[in-house]
Amino acid sequence: MPPSLEELAAAAHVSPFHFHRIWRGLTGEAVGATIARLRIEASQQKLRAAGGSVTSVAMEAGFATPQAFARAFRRLTGTTPSNFARGEPVSARSLPDSDVRIVLREPVEIVVLRRVGADYVAMNEAYGQLWAWADGEGLLGNLQGIYGVAVDDAASVTEGEARYDACLALQADAPPPFLNSTLGGGRYASLTHQGSYDGLPAAEAWLMGHWLTGSSYEPADAPLVHHFLNDPDTTPEAEWLTEILLPLRDEAH
């Protein structure tokens, strides 16, 4: 039986909150997809071997049909098994040129609406409901920021089960279905993403898999935070700014 998420995270000495994202940032895939990748990698040497047959290699790798093997192979390598066997290289993955700052933040009181079942790039409905309530209560004059908490990595949980907290920085008593909470203060790694929110997963993968693993910092046992810096309703999409905040442990190692 494969090890559990908790066992994998403990072996890697990171929080379960971040294990999926670090893994995906390093490998470009969710943890569950690693098994398929290893099967494909094991097949590559056999394909390059003299007389290697796509059909026989597909069967040895555990795929039901050569067609299923070919689809998985192309998805993971960027080429077909036949072309790879003839010497075509696999596609390389590039990393963005991004700047990360270490910032110290004070705790922020927030009003939260949790959404389950949609990935975190499609949260208009939750924010609209939260905004309408705050506007009706005359609270928007005290708004100190718009945040989102990515409780789950949407690419690494069962489809439809990703949790995301839409948040407004307000000091107000919130009735159900809203909740009062606090964004913790302390040390964060800050990366500003410009453009469509669809690009957030790639930026997060770079932050977790490239910058974090090459730094002396360790992630805290808390989820990623999005700080939305401008209004998407009045700003061109290409100019949308989102600060991605990764909570860090207090000391660097």
State residue 104's pLDDT score.
92
Dihedral sign (CA 172, 175, 178, 183): positive
In degrees rounded to 5, what are phi and psi of residue 187? -90, 130
pLDDT band of residue 92 (cuts 50, 70, 90) is very low
State residue 71's pLDDT score.
79
Tens digit of pLDDT for each residue in 80-89? 888 777 766 6
With CA atoms as reference, report the closest residue to 219 among 31, 21, 14: 14
DSSP 8-state symbol, 77: H
What average pLDDT does range 120-144 have in this prediction?
87
With CA atoms as reference, report the closest residue to 227 among 200, 187, 202: 200
pTM of the model: 0.63
Rounded distance, CA 70 to CA 74, Å? 6
What average pLDDT does range 221-240 have in this prediction?
90
Helix (H) or strand (E) holding 243: strand 241-247
Tens digit of pLDDT for each residue in 237-250? 888 999 999 999 98
Do 245 and 188 meet the contact criterion of CB atoms below 8 Å apart?
Answer: yes
User: Which pair of tokens denotes residue 64?
Assistant: 């039901």
Select the more confidently predicted residue: 160 or 92: 160
